[in-house]
Chains A and B, each alone.
Chain A
Amino acid sequence: MKKSKLLKIVSVLLVLSLFVSVLAACGDTTAPASTPANDTSSTAADSTPVESEPTDTGTDEEPYKITMAIIGNEQPNQDKVWQAVNDLMLEEINMTFEPILLSFGDYQEQLRMMLSAGDELDVLPIFYDQASSYINSGQIVDLADYIYDYGQDILNYMGEDIATSGAVNGFIYGIPANKESNTRSGIVMRKDIIDEIGVDVSTLKSPRDLTAVFEQAKAAHPEMDMISGSRVITTEIVDPLFDWFGVLMDYGQDTTVTNYFESKEYKDRADLTKEWYDAGYVKLDAATTTETNANLVKAGSLFSYMAPIKPGYLIQENINCGTEMVTAYLGDLDGGYQESLWTSSVNFFDWGIAQQSKDKVKAMEFLNYAYNSPEWNNLMNFGIEGEDYVPVEGSDVLIDYPEGKGIGDAYHMNMGWMYPNQMIGKIWNGNPEDLWDQYTEFNKGAVLSKAFGFIYDSSSVATELTALNSVRTEFMASIETGSVPDVDQAIKDFNDKLYAAGLQKVIDLKQEQLDAWLAAQ
């Protein structure tokens, strides 16, 4: 009898303890549930609370905490660097700093989650193709209300035209990161093979010139793929007006919105790619491969790929590919080319303020500071001087790893193009000392698209865009890698489906808004 009673009590206790532990587990999980899937990337940020010590500041005001979403990989020495950023900001603008590190793989989903859940967030990166949807769902703030009062330094530094160019219907969603904007496409090839087959790279002007190169290289290395990528030919000859659904032909000089996928240019490119695919030059799995081109080169299976090329590009690519590469700028199929700039190339990447920011004025003041502080940009990009980098002897601007350190030992975010203003910061060794001047020249050398500064408001065609995006993923990679059995048929099917999905409505909308915008200029 006694034994069974004891058993009963024990069993009730067990059940109770199970219940409590389940509840406890619930309690644990509800807190981060607002930002699920954060565990891979932002745990680092979460676990490194940057202490705020509001003591030795000039004012009596409580420091404001800036929460900033950034994109990149976790770095060694990260906590210390961010603490240093925090200290710097506390001293200079009486704010503390809480970065949230998002990974490249899923930052879009993460940002959406944070915006939707109302997580603490002040400043966020905005890629141009996201702006319209952020605005439509009221997730970001119109900077027009703040930039003129609290962002004077940005206006002075960048010029009002550029600083306020990230706007849709007058809604300024962000300030462009100050970087090289005009990236011209070209071919990146393995130098040893080019030397072996004896090609003069400077003679390469058009993608058509590559056929002969591939022929020789393939003969010398039949086991290798000549070229890969989900879009094989990447040189741009039109202003894509953000999403390619209705473009401006002739580098944006023609103000009639047309369907690029129906153009002769598009077909010529598709035919050339198909020719390469059939000749065995294009990687057979190019349309579905998830491996980066640089990694394929590193693995020894790929000879070349096309990419946007900017000053200093080779330094970066030689590292990524693990072997010496050569580049050549390429133009369109006739060999002609015009340097050009369109809105999406300048406003490719902007910094904006989240709707849930507790103090939007402070957030704007922070941006104003971040666009103008070399110390801030250097710290975020390269870490602490003496620990993560040292100046190169005999140069004011060049820096390099300290003695005995290398990739993986020191903080080296190396994402200058993402931070508000890399062009007031240091330059990594191997680049020319006048890199920033080259960038400026590079930007200046371009012709502006007629629609430069124009961003269309897509809210009324959200349904159509959803269907169009789906059609584009269906056809774009397979046509532009040459994997389709019949190019003409594929292009025809592609366009039929685009029109069925409402392409004409989007084109008309763009044309209407563009005409109104041009008239107002």
Chain B
Amino acid sequence: MSTKPGVIDRRISRFGRIKKWLPLYLMMLPGAIYIIVNNYIPMFGIMIAFKQVDFSKGIFASDWIGLKNFEFLFASEDAMIITRNTILYNAAFIVLNLVIGIIFAIFICDVINKRLKKLYQSAILFPFLMSMVIVGYIVFAFFSMQNGIVNKSILPALGQEPIFWYNDPQYWPVILIFVNTWKGVGYGCLIYIAAINGIDPTYYEAAELDGAGKLKQIWHITLPCILPSIITLTLLGVGRIFYSDFGLFYQVPRDSGMLYATTNVIDTYVYRGLMRQGNIGMSSAAGVYQSVVGFLLVLVSNLVVRKISKENALF
């Protein structure tokens, strides 16, 4: 029986519809419960950020202290540096992962050999699955001042003096951005590959008939077709612009104090400051601050997207 879907809806009663979609609702249920239990219920903890928590009284009965817990985020002159580092690094990550991810996705989709295609796809995702602790040691194997590959083999071969990598902050923006791209590009790439594979091949056939070259096809077919994926991933990235990958900024520079000028971000600052104190009010304040700013940024960027092209906005 093949009728148009819209027609069938009107004929069946509401109960019938629910019954028909019951399996789908059931499939949604675990996810919905998970989100409510894991993401919504804990939100009551936001109030911890505004309290002087005293466990003998309990969280609810603890005293309200207004914004005092937030002060430490702005107390030192590091506040500027950590905010700048966090935002600039994340902006660089978003742009690079987007551009390089799409380039790799297009390359991989054009690989004709099926087996090689699978291989490249897995290979590019592999670093994403690696723990930052291990990545930190891999980087250390390269840059260790005493035994690193760079100082021991590469620089002497080029006739250069060894460099004190972990003592000099100027190299780290490049190293960190490289490591993040190497590690993170596979994830976005995978999503773009899926989006590109979903494009109707007849578009390309028509374009070829019209004499469009490869670059023209990419510009006029591939990119517009995967635009929704690009916007979604970018908005997700923007929403997390105030968060930073703790492992990347803590494990990879090996917590070297001399590198803080270019490696200190909000998460590592909070960790270093509160690790010894264990003040959960201040820790929550940092979390609330990050999520509120992130949320506002998502709203703003979505607004911008909606202004430019309405159908591509997330909401």
A residues with CB within 8 A of B: 11-12, 15-16, 18-19, 22-23, 26, 108, 112, 115-116, 118, 129-130, 133, 136-139, 225, 283-285, 287-288, 290, 355-356, 462-467, 469-471, 473-478, 483-485, 497, 500-502
B255 touches A19 (CB 8 A): no
Decide if B75 is an interface residue (CB 8 Å cutoff): yes
Say yes or no: B146 contacts A283, CB within 8 Å.
Answer: yes
CB distance from B81 to the nearest CB of A (A): 11
Interface string of B3-39 (1 = CB under 8 A from A): 0000000000000000000110011011001100100
Is B210 interfacial (CB 8 A cutoff)?
no
Answer whether A478 and B257 are a contact pair too, CB < 8 Å, given A15-B27, A138-B56, A284-B164.
yes
Q: List 11 A-B contacts (CB under 8 A).
A: A18-B30, A22-B34, A112-B280, A116-B55, A133-B279, A139-B55, A287-B256, A462-B72, A469-B273, A470-B272, A470-B273
Complex Cα distance, B75 from A284, in Å, reads 33
Q: Provide the bound-state CA to CA distance between A484 and B258, in Å.
A: 8
Least distance between B309 CB and chain A CB atoms (Å): 37
Q: Are A467 and B76 in contact (CB under 8 A)?
A: yes
Q: Is the CB of A133 within 8 A of B30?
A: no
Cβ-defined partner of A467 (8 Å) among B22, B23, B273, B278:
B273
Contact assessment for B144 and A12 in the assembled complex, using a CB-CB cutoff below 8 Å = no
Contacts of B75 in A (CB 8 A): 463-464, 466-467, 501-502
Q: How far is the CA of A356 from the CA of B56 in the complex (A)?
A: 8
Listed residue (A23, A108, A287, A356) with the most chain B CB atoms within 10 angstroms of its CB: A287
Contact B144 A137 (CB under 8 A): no
B105 on the interface (CB 8 Å rule)?
no
A274 CB → nearest B CB, Å:
12
Q: How large is the interface on B (under 10, 10 to 19, 20 to 34, 35 or more residues)?
A: 35 or more
Chain B contact residues: helix, strand, loop or mixed: helix
A138–B57 CB distance below 8 A: yes
> In the docked arrangement, what's the CA distance between A470 and B270, Å?
8
Are A22's CB and B277's CB within 8 A? no
Q: How far apart sit A133 and B30, CA to CA, in the bound complex (Å)?
A: 40
Check if A23 sits within 8 Å of B30, measured CB to CB.
yes
| A residues less than 8 Å from B22 (CB atoms) | 12
The contact string, 1 if C-beta is below 8 Å from chain A, for chain B 271-287, is 01111111110100000
Selected from A285, A287, A467, A483, the residue in CB contact (under 8 A) with B78 is A467
Q: Which of B52-85 contact A (CB under 8 A)?
A: 53-57, 68, 71-72, 75-78
In-complex Cβ contact of A478 among B30, B258, B276 (8 A): B258
For B37, the chain A residues whose CB sits under 8 A away are 26
Chain B residues whose C-beta falls within 8 Å of the C-beta of A136 in the assembled complex:
54
Query: B226-283: which residues lie under 8 A (CB-CB) from chain A?
Result: 254-258, 260, 264, 269, 272-280, 282
In the complex, the answer to whether A497 meets B53 with C-beta atoms within 8 Å is no
Which chain A residues border B93 with CB–CB below 8 Å?
none
Contact for A116 among B57, B167, B280, CB less than 8 A: B280
Report if A133-B78 is in contact (Cβ < 8 Å); known contacts: A287-B258, A463-B72: no
